[in-house]
Structure formats: structure tokens, C-alpha cells
């Protein structure tokens, strides 16, 4: 893989990234992390600018982009939709054209996937999806980096996602696992299962990588999992559905009994955070020895820096 082919590339879903390109960014992430550990200082974004548009709240994603870019000498500019003319007063297309003239790259977190795709189409600079209703690709990269640190090779490992199988995190995990040969099992109530359209798309990549994608509503299918992953029951923007989600997902809470059901003493627990402790995961699990959630959170920064280094 020639790294030059990534220059100017946007990251909106990972679907148009080849397995080799994803592996390259992960390797770069490992070296970025190593450099951070030895306090090696680089200034690779001097003279560069990053627009960071947020329609939804964020702790990890915002801080990862802002610190990763700033500490390399770049100038990140945080733009909440309270401040800029996005969508209401000015079209997404026009906003993209203007920002593309002033910034080296654009990050977008918000509701519609179509917004980040329009930005990517019109801006003429790399655009990164920092989470939409449908995808969270930078999270998925950090999650795989975490798995690589723990297990070395991830090919053939089993990642089991338990909870809202149609949310952004589950969907991006499905894509990256299919591409990298990781077996991916979604355990969700049928009403909240991953959509057929995405599963069909992923099945092509899974066939090429040797990954097995399984959709289930039986908790017994955590058997043999190397990682049990969950996310909040109510994603940002879906607050109106909270009562229904609680009803559907209460049997899918990750607790110690479920971790035991994996019958794998090395099985780890993962969560993208923020977590509602006591809801989708119990305190003993998220605070317990199997939990790797803080590594995942830290790895957001290293993977995001790697993406920006690879594409700007």
C-alpha cells in the first residue's frame, strides 16, 4: 500500500477504505502512541488548520481531535452549530465550499450521515466523521487498536456487541470487523438488530477477509467471545425513545454473569463511553479487571492523529 494514496482522503464510513489502508492507519497509530509515551515532540501540522463542527456534545472526540492537531503545531477551530451558519441560514454545500477554502481539513459530528457526506463531496479537503446517527468510524479504529494491543493479531478473534445493534457504534464495528477478518456477533432484541442492508454490504467484505458476521438475540451466543462490547441504550438524538429502549434492552445488560457465559477467562469488556453505569453495564463489570474502556478512550487520540497524519 502506497501511503500517498491516502492524501486528501476523507473518512466518512470506512466502507471505501481497503483492509490494507485500515491496517496502515492502525500501524501508524501504534507508532503515534509510542511517540506520545516517550514524549517525542513533532510539529507536523504547523501552518495547518482544522475546522471542528459539533451539532452534538462530545468529550473524547472533541478533545482527541483538538489536542492531537494542536500539539503538532496545527490550529484547530471549534465550531458549534450555535455559532456557524450550517444548514439553516446556509446550505451544507456552501458551508463546505467556504470552509474548504480556509481549512486544511474538517471534522463533523452531528445527526445526518448525509451532512458529513456532502461536506466530504464539496469541501475539497479531507473530512472526518466524528459520529453521525449512522456511523462512528474513528471510534471503531480506536477499538481495533485496543484489541491489537491486547491480543496482537485480531484476525479470527470474536467481538460480541450486546445492545442496540442499529446504532452508530455497532454499525461501524460491523464494517471494520468484516474488513479485518474479525468475527462479529451482534446480540440484540429483534427490534434493535443491525439492518439487513448493512449486513449484506458487510457480508462481501467478510467473505474476502474470512470474518463471520452473526446476528442473534440469544445471550448464549457470547460463548467464546474475546471481547464483549456494549454502548448506551439511548443514543444522542433518540431521547424520545428512552422508555421503549429500557423495556427492550434490560435483558441485555452486560453483567458479571454474562461475562462468565463467554467461558473465556481472557475475555475483555469494551464500551465507547460515555456509559450509563447500572443501565447497559453493571458497575462491577465496567470497573472490574476485564474492562479496557480507558484504553479505548485514550486510543481515540492516537488513532485520530494517525488518520489526520495519513490524509492531510
Question: Interface residues with ligand CP (CB under 6 A)?
Answer: 58-61, 131, 139, 272-274
Q: Which of 26, 174, 215, 236 is in the footprint of ligand NVA by CB under 6 A?
A: 236
In degrees and rounded to multiples of 5, residue 37 shows phi and psi of -65, -30
User: From the list 68, 159, 182, 272, which residue makes contact with ligand NVA (rule: CB under 6 A)?
Assistant: 272
Is residue 232 at the binding interface for ligand NVA, with CB under 6 A as the rule?
yes
CB 140 within 8 A of CB 173: yes
Q: How far is the CB of 163 from ligand NVA (least distance, A)?
A: 9
Minimum CB distance to ligand NVA smaller for 225 or for 232? 232
**6, 64, 169, 268: which one binds ligand NVA (CB under 6 A):** 169
Nearer to ligand NVA, 171 or 261 (CB): 171
Distances (CA, A) of 141 to 134, 179, 242, 288: 16, 12, 28, 24
Strand 105-109's sheet: what is its strand order?
A: 75-80, 49-54, 105-109, 127-129
Contact predicate 154/147, CB 8 Å: yes
CB 199 within 8 A of CB 213: yes
Distances (CA, A) of 58 to 130, 236, 237, 272: 9, 10, 13, 12
Cα dihedral value 42, 44, 46, 51, nearest 10: -120
Asked if residues 50 and 75 have their Cβ atoms less than 8 Å apart, the reply is yes
Least separation in angstroms between CB 26 and ligand NVA: 20
Query: Which of residues 131 and 285 has its CB atom nearest to ligand CP in the complex?
Result: 131
The interface partner of residue 211, options being ligand CP, ligand NVA, none and the CB cut-off 5 to 8 Å by kind, is none
**Subset of residues 106 to 135 that bind ligand NVA, contact rule: CB under 6 A:** 131
Q: Annotated active-site positions, please?
A: 109, 136, 139, 231, 272, 300
Can you give the binding site for ligand NVA, defined by CB under 6 A? 131, 167-169, 231-232, 235-236, 272
Amino acid at each position: 500500500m502506497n501511503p500517498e494514496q491516502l492524501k486528501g482522503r476523507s473518512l466518512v464510513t470506512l466502507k471505501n477504505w481497503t483492509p490494507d489502508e485500515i491496517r496502515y492507519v492502525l500501524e501508524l497509530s501504534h507508532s503515534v502512541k509510542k511517540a506520545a509515551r516517550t514524549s517525542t515532540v513533532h510539529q507536523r501540522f504547523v501552518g495547518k488548520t482544522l475546522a471542528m463542527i459539533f451539532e452534538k456534545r462530545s468529550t473524547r472526540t472533541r478533545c482527541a481531535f483538538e489536542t492531537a492537531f494542536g500539539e503538532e503545531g496545527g490550529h484547530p477551530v471549534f465550531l458549534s452549530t450555535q455559532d456557524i451558519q450550517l444548514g439553516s441560514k446556509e446550505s451544507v454545500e456552501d458551508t463546505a465550499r467556504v470552509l474548504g477554502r480556509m481549512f486544511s481539513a474538517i471534522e463533523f459530528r452531528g445527526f445526518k450521515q448525509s451532512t458529513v457526506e456532502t461536506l466530504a463531496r464539496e469541501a475539497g479537503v479531507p473530512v472526518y466523521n466524528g459520529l453521525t446517527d449512522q456511523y462512528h468510524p474513528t471510534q471503531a479504529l480506536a477499538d481495533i487498536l485496543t484489541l491489537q494491543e491486547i491480543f496482537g493479531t485480531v484476525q479470527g478473534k470474536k467481538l460480541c456487541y450486546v445492545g442496540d445493534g442499529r446504532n452508530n457504534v455497532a454499525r461501524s464495528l460491523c464494517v471494520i470487523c468484516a474488513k479485518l477478518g474479525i468475527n462479529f456477533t451482534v446480540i440484540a432484541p429483534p427490534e434493535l438488530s443491525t439492518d439487513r442492508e448493512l449486513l449484506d454490504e458487510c457480508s462481501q467484505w467478510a467473505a474476502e477477509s474470512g470474518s463471520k458476521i452473526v446476528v442473534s438475540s440469544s445471550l448464549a451466543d457470547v460463548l467464546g467471545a474475546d471481547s464483549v462490547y456494549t454502548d448506551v441504550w439511548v443514543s444522542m438524538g433518540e431521547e424520545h425513545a428512552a422508555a421503549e429502549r429500557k423495556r427492550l434492552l434490560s435483558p441485555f445488560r452486560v453483567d458479571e454473569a454474562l461475562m462468565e457465559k463467554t467461558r473465556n477467562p481472557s475475555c475483555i469488556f469494551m464500551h465507547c463511553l460515555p456509559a450509563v453505569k447500572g443501565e447497559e453495564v453493571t458497575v462491577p463489570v465496567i470497573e472490574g479487571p476485564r474492562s479496557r474502556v480507558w484504553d479505548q478512550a485514550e486510543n481515540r487520540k492516537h488513532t485520530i492523529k494517525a488518520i489526520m497524519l495519513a490524509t492531510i
